[in-house]
Structure 1
Amino acid sequence: MTVQTTFDFDQMLSNAREAYGEELMKMADEGLDFVFTYSDNIAPSSAAGKLIKKYPDRCFNFGIAEANQVGASCGLALTGPPVFAQVFGPFLPLRAADQIHTDIAYNDVNVRLIGTHAGLTAGGGPTHNCVCDLALYRAIPNLTILVPADAGQCIKAIRASMEHQGPMIIRINRGGSPDVYADSNYEYQIGKGIETVPGDDCAIISTGSSVYWAMMAAKQLLNDNIHARVVDMHTIKPLDTELIMKCARETGTILTIEEHSINGGLGSAVADVLCERGFTGSFSKMGLPDEFALLGDPDKVYAHYGMSAEGIVSKVKEMI
């Protein structure tokens, strides 16, 4: 069953980075027990800054020292309450890989690592592009990996994480992006993908901001009488293999799209599932190529690599 989305509307922008901070503030006001850590100046300049001002005793600043922050977050979690740790996304997997692996995952602690600025960035170039993180996270045991499609779903992920046992990555994008869901009246379950657009000619499995691009592509494909199913695979690990195989059986054509390298991300995860189960249909994955991406406005760079709605439409037509 599909859910109510913004499929028939133009872009309705919201910001997951602001939404998660506002939700943490609500949770603190409700009396929920958790700790918040942050690095650099990203959190104070966003909605999370209100949490820091109102509840300073539960908030800890580690400056520009991401590895220290992640390690200390493990120690704080071992004292009892879960820890939400906001880290600049490009530096989280690269500078703190050892701490994620050995401190957080190995000890299986309740730390929710919130990696911001996922995907490409306009100003920092390759050193600030967060496009290889999913490949690392997928290989580390015990890590649950969530990639919300929009700000509203980010709120659902934050709430759901309070009941979840074990370490978690919550990967959010760099700023404002279009809403996927018209409202919050839909079921969100960690590990279960969501069908946002029905269709039987092909299935576009996407995650994060790419869900909206896939939906706009599906809308354009209707002009050619092509009914593309769109799936929001908001949980990369554990992956909803049952939904993937359902799409494979019912459409025979699978395309994945993500703001990540084509190596090791959602596309690779879906390919593993299909190959292991003997899928003989058509499969392809879209993402950033195996190169250091061009520098420029992110939307223009994504379009350059064929990751716009128009690029997805062209790829689907080629496949079917």
Structure 2
Amino acid sequence: MRTEPKARLKTSAMIASFADPGQKTAPAPFGHALVKAARENERIAGLTADLGKYTDMHIFAQAYPERFFQMGMAEQLLFGAAAGMAQAGLVPFASTYAVFAARRAYDFLCLDIAEPNLNVNIVGGLPGLATGYGPSHQATEDMAIFRGMPNLTIVDPCDPVDIEQAVPQLAASGGPTYLRLLRGNVPTVLDEYDYTFELGKAKVLRGGNDVVFVSSGLMTMRALAAAKELAAHNVDPAVVHTPTIKPFDAATVLAEVDTDRLVITLENHTVVGGLFETVASAAVRAGISRRILPIGLPDEFLHAGALPTLHERYGLTVERIKQTVLAEL
């Protein structure tokens, strides 16, 4: 008797999309946003370190080949050249993987770009746990590294709405910026809320009586989904989206933290040095005595594997968030 082989789930350790089946997505939002911004600002230039396709910079390269520069596998050269362009009056967006920007080229970013406060926009692909390739490519500590750099603005967008609105604001911001890139087919969620991105501002997306989620990046998407599922358990969470990590909008966030509700931070980053410690520090400075519970990545080198499996393992899924909340209430 002949039996048909069972269908095998196809996945990849390098998968960069975190969209669920059937979820609404937008393709390459950063690349298209940069092209749109470049139409309105002829000073915008694009650079990459051999990763145009994998940071969506190839969209810009196709539209403006005369304003695109391929620097090869040389991240220090990438940012040194971007600094020179900014000194000459251009507005460069320089893309590579977040691990290479944060770890390999830190000194160049610090002394060539941040110290003279140049308008260089650093675009870091695969932030946090956005790949299964293991510690060599998982930028779990990039925000912790960059938060201590003076003059540097840090943005952790949730979706294409954030990215599309952030790009022109980053170009106009004057000083250096770091954008944690979501690439490929990126889920769109913020269009369902009365939301606009404002650099340096947090936004309350949803009110709630029992829990306050303070989130950034893709974890805002997960926070909103968990809030809907928790309603079936008579739990009503608020969601505060904080796309700008530095400078931090303490006033908006602390107004939600300083209540009797359970406060949970959610981030696609190690719990060391990222959103959790930013919120906790702001609360202490303001004299607010509240327990703040972090949901984020552990202080360890992570495993390699399929991205959905890793998100479940390290507690970033909607189901794991829901379980954490119910265990605390």
TM-score by length of 1: 0.90
Hey, what does 1:260 align to over in structure 2? Answer: 269
Q: 4+ residue stretches of structure 1 with deviation over 4 A? A: 44-47
Tell me, yes or no, if the aligned pair for 1:120 and 1:128 is still in contact at 8 Å. no
Comparing 19-28 and 257-266, the one that deviates more = 19-28
Hey, what does 1:149 align to over in structure 2? Answer: 158
Q: Deviations over 1:161-194 (max 9, x none)?
A: 1221200001113543422212697332111111
Tell me, yes or no, if the aligned pair for 1:44 and 1:52 is still in contact at 8 Å. no
Q: Which runs of 5+ in 2 are unaligned?
A: 1-21
Out of 68, 71, 75, the position equivalent to 2:77 is 68
Tell me, yes or no, if the aligned pair for 1:143 and 1:166 is still in contact at 8 Å. yes
Hey, what does 2:48 align to over in structure 1? Answer: 38
The whole-number CA distance in structure 1 between the counterparts of 2:327 and 2:53 is 47
Greater Rg by CA: 2
The whole-number CA distance in structure 1 between the counterparts of 2:213 and 2:126 is 24
* Superposed displacement of residue 49, structure 1: 2.3
Hey, what does 1:107 align to over in structure 2? Answer: 116
Hey, what does 1:120 align to over in structure 2? Answer: 129
Q: What amino acid is the match of 2:224?
A: M
* Superposed displacement of residue 282, structure 1: 2.7
Hey, what does 1:82 align to over in structure 2? Answer: 91
Tell me, yes or no, if the aligned pair for 1:282 and 1:319 is still in contact at 8 Å. no
Q: What amino acid is the match of 1:149?
A: C
1:276 equivalent in alignment to 2:288: no
The whole-number CA distance in structure 2 between the counterparts of 1:195 and 1:291 is 31
Hey, what does 1:162 align to over in structure 2? Answer: 171
Q: Deviations over 1:113-141 (max 9, x none)?
A: 01111122545211110111000110100
1:11 equivalent in alignment to 2:23: yes
The whole-number CA distance in structure 2 between the counterparts of 1:54 and 1:292 is 39
1:309 equivalent in alignment to 2:318: yes
Classify 1:225/1:121 alpha carbon distance in 2 versus 1 (closer, same or farther; 3 Å).
closer
Hey, what does 1:6 align to over in structure 2? Answer: none
The whole-number CA distance in structure 1 between the counterparts of 2:245 and 2:180 is 10
The whole-number CA distance in structure 1 between the counterparts of 2:193 and 2:235 is 29
Aligned residues: 309
Classify 1:44/1:298 alpha carbon distance in 2 versus 1 (closer, same or farther; 3 Å).
closer
The whole-number CA distance in structure 2 between the counterparts of 1:267 and 1:274 is 11
Tell me, yes or no, if the aligned pair for 1:118 and 1:172 is still in contact at 8 Å. yes
3-state SS of 1:311 partner? helix
Q: Deviations over 1:190-242 (max 9, x none)?
A: 11111122112121111111111111111111112111001111000011101
User: What is the percent sequence identity of the aligned residues?
Assistant: 31
Tell me, yes or no, if the aligned pair for 2:133 and 2:305 is still in contact at 8 Å. no
1:28 equivalent in alignment to 2:38: yes
Comparing 194-203 and 125-134, the one that deviates more = 194-203
Tell me, yes or no, if the aligned pair for 2:29 and 2:186 is still in contact at 8 Å. no
Q: What amino acid is the match of 2:274?
A: G
Tell me, yes or no, if the aligned pair for 2:95 and 2:124 is still in contact at 8 Å. yes
3-state SS of 1:272 partner? helix
Classify 1:102/1:193 alpha carbon distance in 2 versus 1 (closer, same or farther; 3 Å).
same
* Superposed displacement of residue 244, structure 1: 1.6
* Superposed displacement of residue 100, structure 1: 1.2
Classify 1:211/1:251 alpha carbon distance in 2 versus 1 (closer, same or farther; 3 Å).
farther
Q: CA-atom RMSD, angstroms?
A: 2.0
Q: Please list, as runs of the form range in 1=range in 2, the aligned pairs for 1:232-251 lying within 5 A after superposition.
A: 232-251=241-260
3-state SS of 1:120 partner? coil
Tell me, yes or no, if the aligned pair for 1:25 and 1:48 is still in contact at 8 Å. no
3-state SS of 1:182 partner? helix
Classify 1:159/1:185 alpha carbon distance in 2 versus 1 (closer, same or farther; 3 Å).
farther
The whole-number CA distance in structure 2 between the counterparts of 1:157 and 1:294 is 32
